[in-house]
């Protein structure tokens, strides 16, 4: 289980009241919108003098155009190359000099950036984010440098790491037929080389406007003061026409798919088995998330007990709705429920897939016993409450709920919905979605590099 329907906030700021399913979460937040369309969420917690500033843009790899793959990731790099009043290097130096840290990340359906700072340095983080939203430095020199940085990142983090290229580049082409969904998140060298300053400037104007973004501040924030700073720094950034997102619908899958990838970096074989997954927020979506938890959550899960310890065929595993580019919190359809298992070399890939399907078939036949379902629900609740320690995690999920659902209050209601999933719902969702005709498999076979003769 890679992540569990993300609910994150500072525990001290959460009121926990009794309910039929355990503690009920009450994470405080205030939500408003500036005239330029920037959506703002403030979630105060005075327990620790730390604040997280999180900006999420409604653009990811699936918004890219053909011939321009990798733009979302390239642009994430460009956002750290300086802006009108914070030249190259100043953003990093300023945050670190004020005792904070920062980063950004590119996803299939969004791109995000954050700073965590001592709470008295909140204006510094807001000024930095507003300056690059307003006037990013897009120059030939910066673009050339970041093209090379992205290429080097690909060489080090993907091409020279086991399983990474198979997962990022090959797996999407197996499970998807629409180019918007199937192309590589990191993009191709050819498309990167073809990118021009005008291309990047157009991408900035289209997607990095305030009305295509959400700003979240979580932690030790004084709301009236924060509102004044936000108004001062962000309100006069001009809005842009809202971008039209591409059509991402997938044709119905009617036959199983199986492809093989030879991985020169892998030491043991791996296999990815995936099936189309439900619409976000549907009853099936919650039931499938619970099915995944039964299979993979914790040392008492079925995969752990039966495949790792019992049959001793699997070495390790991970799975989720939206895997590998998303989890349930940031999942957006079309997507898949995917399981990725590393297995022992003497176990054929076909046998490993059969064992995965046997575990799911048991749920299809018998459902889930009450004591097992209760254990899984307790695990999910414990996992979430541990997540409540981080202001940054709270900010992330509030922002994601706003972007994907238009309702950050899911942070308070989603856990209760998960706790209501029944054994019958888990059984029925497994029957509805997990079937051989809808299965896609990528077999990852180790292929050690041949040593040159001396």
HEC sequence for 331-370: CCCCCEEEEEEEECCCCCHHHHHHHHHHHHHHHHHHCCCH
CA distance 263 to 303: 25
CA distance 117 to 323: 31
Give the number of other Cβ atoms within 10 Å of residue 194's Cβ: 12
Name the token pair of 318. 């991970």
Question: Of the candidates 432, 339, 39, 338, which has an alpha carbon nearest to the alpha carbon of residue 210?
Answer: 39
Contacts of 198 (CB under 8 A, 6+ apart): none
Question: Of the candidates 161, 43, 178, which has an alpha carbon nearest to the alpha carbon of residue 108?
Answer: 178
Residue 22's pLDDT is 46
CA distance 328 to 2: 9
CA distance 331 to 205: 26
> 295, 237 in Cβ contact below 8 A?
no
Planar angle of CA 111, 103, 160, nearest 5 degrees: 85
> 78, 202 in Cβ contact below 8 A?
no
CA distance 210 to 300: 45
3-state SS class at 144: helix
Burial of 275 (0-12, 13-18, 19+ CB in 10 A): buried
Query: What tens digit of pLDDT does each residue of 284-338 get?
Result: 999 999 999 999 999 999 999 999 999 999 999 999 999 999 998 899 999 999 9
Q: Is the pTM of this model over 0.75?
A: yes
> 157, 231 in Cβ contact below 8 A?
no
Give the number of other Cβ atoms within 10 Å of residue 378's Cβ: 13
Query: What tens digit of pLDDT does each residue of 342-385 get?
Result: 999 999 999 999 999 999 999 999 999 999 999 999 999 888 88
Residue 6's pLDDT is 33
| Residue 407 main-chain phi, psi, to 5 deg | -150, 90
3-state SS class at 111: strand
Scanning 90-139, the segments in alpha helix (DSSP H) are 90-97, 122-134
> What sign does the dihedral 417-422-423-425 (CA atoms) show?
negative
Cis peptide before 324 (omega within 30 of 0): yes
CA atoms within 13 A on the CB side of 131: 18
| Residue 360 main-chain phi, psi, to 5 deg | -70, -35
Do β-strands 50-57 and 213-219 pair in parallel, antiparallel, or remain unpaired? antiparallel
Residue indicated by tokens 């340095």: 121
3-state DSSP of 34-76: CCCCCEEEEEECCCCCEEEEEEEECCCHHHCCCCCCCHHHHHH
| Residue 365 main-chain phi, psi, to 5 deg | -85, -45
Question: Of the candidates 19, 72, 252, 274, which has an alpha carbon nearest to the alpha carbon of residue 167?
Answer: 274
- Domains of the chain with bracketed CATH: 21-234 (3.30.830.10), 257-446 (3.30.830.10)
CA atoms within 13 A on the CB side of 268: 13
The low-confidence residues of the chain, meaning pLDDT below 50, are: 1-22
Contacts of 308 (CB under 8 A, 6+ apart): 314, 315, 316, 317
């Amino acid at each position: 289980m890679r992540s569990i329907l993300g609910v994150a906030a500072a525990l001290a700021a959460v009121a926990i009241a009794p309910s039929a399913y355990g503690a009920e979460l009450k994470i405080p937040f205030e939500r408003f919108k500036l005239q330029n369309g920037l959506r703002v969420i403030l979630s105060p917690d005075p327990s620790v003098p730390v604040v997280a500033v999180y900006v999420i843009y409604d653009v990811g790899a699936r918004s890219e155009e053909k011939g321009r793959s990798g733009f979302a990731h390239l642009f994430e790099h460009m956002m750290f190359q300086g802006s009108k009043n914070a030249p190259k290097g100043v953003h990093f130096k300023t945050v670190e000099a004020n005792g904070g840290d920062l980063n950004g990340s590119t996803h299939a359906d969004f791109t995000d950036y954050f700073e965590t700072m001592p709470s008295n340095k909140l204006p510094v983080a807001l000024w930095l984010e507003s300056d690059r939203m307003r006037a990013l430095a897009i120059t030939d020199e910066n673009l050339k440098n970041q093209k090379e940085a992205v290429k080097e990142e690909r060489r080090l983090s993907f091409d020279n790491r086991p399983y990474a290229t198979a997962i990022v580049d090959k797996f999407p082409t197996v499970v998807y037929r629409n180019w918007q969904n199937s192309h590589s998140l990191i993009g191709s060298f050819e498309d990167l080389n073809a990118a021009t300053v005008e291309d990047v400037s157009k991408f900035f104007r289209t997607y990095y406007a305030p009305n295509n973004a959400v700003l979240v501040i979580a932690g030790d924030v004084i709301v009236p003061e924060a509102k004044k700073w936000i108004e001062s720094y962000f309100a006069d950034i001009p809005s842009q026409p809202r971008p039209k997102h591409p059509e991402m619908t997938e044709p119905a899958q009617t036959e199983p798919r199986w492809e093989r990838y030879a991985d020169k970096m892998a030491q043991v074989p791996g296999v990815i088995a995936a099936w189309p997954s439900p619409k976000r927020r549907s009853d099936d979506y919650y039931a499938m998330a619970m099915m995944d938890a039964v299979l993979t959550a914790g040392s008492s899960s079925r995969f752990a007990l039966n495949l790792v310890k019992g049959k001793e065929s699997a070495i390790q595993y991970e799975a989720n709705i939206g895997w590998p580019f998303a989890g349930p919190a940031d999942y957006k359809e079309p997507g898949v429920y995917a399981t990725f298992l590393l297995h022992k070399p003497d176990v054929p890939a076909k046998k490993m897939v059969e064992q995965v399907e046997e575990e799911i078939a048991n749920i299809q036949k018998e459902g889930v016993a009450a004591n097992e379902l209760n254990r899984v629900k307790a695990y999910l609740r414990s996992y979430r409450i541990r997540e409540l320690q981080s202001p940054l995690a709270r900010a992330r999920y509030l922002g994601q709920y706003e972007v994907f659902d238009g309702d950050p209050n899911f942070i308070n209601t989603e856990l209760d919905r998960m706790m209501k999933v029944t054994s019958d719902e888990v059984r029925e969702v497994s029957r509805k979605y997990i079937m051989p005709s809808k299965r896609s498999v990528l077999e990852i076979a180790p292929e050690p590099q041949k040593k040159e003769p001396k």
